[in-house]
A and B are shown apart, each in its own frame.
Chain A
Amino acid sequence: MTITLYNYVLSGNCYKIRLLASLLDINYETIAVDFHPGQEHKSKALLKLNPAGTLPILVTDGHVFTETKDMLTWLAQHHDQSNTWWPANNSDQLTRVVQWLEFSSRLSATIGELRLNSMLNKAIDVEAAKHGSKICLRELESHLTEQRIKGIQWLSGDNPTVADVACFPYTALSPDAGIEHDDYPSIRSWLHALRSLDNFLTMPGIHELHELKSTQKISP
């Protein structure tokens, strides 16, 4: 069964799909969409596929997914033998996964938008986005701190799930939007845990662990 991802390399939402596919060793094809400067996601052809005009779009036999959360859920349900990334057999954990999947939308709407503004000059309400970003990060920090106290490393329990994958990109990319991680020690340790996973995948702005040392070395 072919899986096709309509992809933009700098998009944190597209990266969620690439990251989960890498972690679960799922094969897929990509079609590059000229999001910037071409605005191709708003072109007739792509609006026909996704009337919302957003990326990513994931096409598999018989399905066209346009919501990132649905894509992550579907990929985990169909491609994770361990049943841990979408913990269908653990209803308590699953409830928390769904909550944090919802939370990931707030990260996209705040840090994601702020990043598009500071990087690609997208016109937005900058002050509102900055305020919203910090509220989200504080909420995430306080949850992860509580988890750490309980000896739990991940958002929803003892194992990483689609919720961690969904919340990871824009949290990790907040320095792109001018928000550093210095004030968020629990977030830093959670980001580190994700980046330590087997088959972790990078994107511009998110480095491999060993690579970070090298780049720090060359920055004067």
Chain B
Amino acid sequence: MSGYDHALKYWYPVAMADELDTGQSKHTKLLNTDIVVSRSNDERLDVNAAGKSLAVQHAYGHAWTTFSDTPYPLFAIPESSEQERRFVPCGVVRVSCSPLRAVENFLDIAHFPFVHTGVLGSEPHTEVYKYDVKIDETVDEVFATNIKFFQPQASKSAEGGIETEYIYRVPAPMAAVLYKTCPPKPECLDVIALFVQPLDEETCDVWPWMALYDDTSSMADLIQFQQLIFVQDRSILENQMPRKLPIDPGHEIPTKADLTSIAYRRWLKKRGAYYGAFERS
């Protein structure tokens, strides 16, 4: 089965749930196919491809669609039902890179001090301490746990530098969910997710979404904090060569900090998720 056929079986975000006024539509792309997203009424968005209407569901602030009649279920994010959290869809950023590279970059902590200097990392705090990575066989997801890192400004709500704890979760080839220390509520974890809409194998639209405990920051502040970070990544992502993500072992030499990245690539290979992947011919 080719990577394309495999990719067809997932749900993908194509709009924010509250995007478009009634009667409006927009043209976009999903897995090399032109699609139209439109709003026929207040309740829901419709998605069409070549005149055929596709399945749509609304979840985590976005409208999701799939080409499959028998898709894998959309992964669960249980925190999305905790009503005290603030749910923050951050809009869309387009990146000229493989959708898999966008996810992989999100999982990499070693770049924080260099790319997100003064925010998510700083010199000389560049060391990545030992952490655990595993494939959870029951749900078939990648998990990285026990990640600890010094961050000058871990989130909009952080006052000064703190040791931040991270848990990463990859629930689908083109989605990643991060759980991190919540500065105003240390007993809880903030949730930051990256939902990727693959336009084709070398271009993607990235929809960050957050579920936070933060009663003080304005919505604009929260969104801009996340956009600032993601656009810092964008210029790095667009310069990575090849544009597709190499998933054969040994193609790129990962450093010891890239444990999550190695696990992610192996997991993609094992399940045949080759859409956006670079294979040695």
Point out residues on A near B: beta carbons under 8 Å. 8-10, 32-34, 36-38, 40, 118-121, 175-176, 178, 204-205, 208, 211, 214-215, 217-220
Note all chain B residues with C-beta closer than 8 A to A8. 224
Assess the A218–B111 pair: CB atoms within 8 A.
yes
Assess the A32–B19 pair: CB atoms within 8 A.
no
Note all chain B residues with C-beta closer than 8 A to A121. 92, 94, 205
Note all chain A residues with C-beta closer than 8 A to B91. 36-38, 120
Assess the B224–A120 pair: CB atoms within 8 A.
no
Task: Give residues 205-263 of B contacting A (CB, 8 Å).
Answer: 205, 218-221, 223-224, 227-228, 231-232, 234-236, 238-241, 252
**Chain B: number of interface residues, binned into ranges:** 20 to 34
Q: What 7 A-B pairs are tightest by C-beta distance, nearest first?
A: A37-B91, A204-B231, A34-B220, A214-B114, A32-B220, A204-B232, A32-B221
Note all chain B residues with C-beta closer than 8 A to A9. 224, 227-228
Assess the A176–B92 pair: CB atoms within 8 A.
no
Does B188 lie at the interface of the complex (its beta carbon under 8 Å from any beta carbon of A)? no
Note all chain B residues with C-beta closer than 8 A to A219. 236, 239-240
Show 21 A/B contacts (Cβ-Cβ < 8 Å), sorted by A: A9-B227, A9-B228, A10-B227, A10-B228, A32-B218, A32-B224, A37-B89, A38-B91, A38-B223, A118-B96, A120-B93, A175-B238, A176-B234, A176-B235, A178-B96, A205-B231, A205-B232, A215-B115, A218-B114, A218-B236, A220-B241
Does B117 lie at the interface of the complex (its beta carbon under 8 Å from any beta carbon of A)? yes
Assess the A38–B219 pair: CB atoms within 8 A.
yes
Closest A residue by C-beta to B238? A175
Assess the B223–A205 pair: CB atoms within 8 A.
no
- Bound-state CA distance A144–B231 (Å) is 29
Does B147 lie at the interface of the complex (its beta carbon under 8 Å from any beta carbon of A)? no
Note all chain B residues with C-beta closer than 8 A to A34. 219-220, 223-224
Of A32, A119, A211, the contact of B114 (CB 8 Å cutoff): A211
- Bound-state CA distance A8–B224 (Å) is 7
Note all chain B residues with C-beta closer than 8 A to A208. 117
Does B110 lie at the interface of the complex (its beta carbon under 8 Å from any beta carbon of A)? yes
- Bound-state CA distance A111–B111 (Å) is 28
Known contacts: A120-B91, A120-B93, A215-B115. The answer to whether A36 contacts B235 by CB under 8 A is: no
Smallest beta-carbon distance A126→chain B, Å? 12
Note all chain A residues with C-beta closer than 8 A to B219. 34, 38
- Bound-state CA distance A211–B227 (Å) is 20
Assess the A204–B205 pair: CB atoms within 8 A.
no
- Bound-state CA distance A137–B132 (Å) is 49
- Bound-state CA distance A119–B231 (Å) is 9
- Bound-state CA distance A65–B146 (Å) is 49
Closest B residue by C-beta to A217? B114
Smallest beta-carbon distance A181→chain B, Å? 13
Does B90 lie at the interface of the complex (its beta carbon under 8 Å from any beta carbon of A)? yes
- Bound-state CA distance A61–B92 (Å) is 36
Smallest beta-carbon distance A9→chain B, Å? 5
Does B167 lie at the interface of the complex (its beta carbon under 8 Å from any beta carbon of A)? no
Does B175 lie at the interface of the complex (its beta carbon under 8 Å from any beta carbon of A)? no
Does B103 lie at the interface of the complex (its beta carbon under 8 Å from any beta carbon of A)? no
Assess the B92–A175 pair: CB atoms within 8 A.
no
Task: Give residues 90-111 of B contacting A (CB, 8 Å).
Answer: 90-94, 96, 110-111
Closest A residue by C-beta to B19? A37
Note all chain B residues with C-beta closer than 8 A to A205. 231-232, 234-235
- Bound-state CA distance A34–B235 (Å) is 22
Known contacts: A119-B234, A205-B231, A211-B117. The answer to whether A37 contacts B224 by CB under 8 A is: no
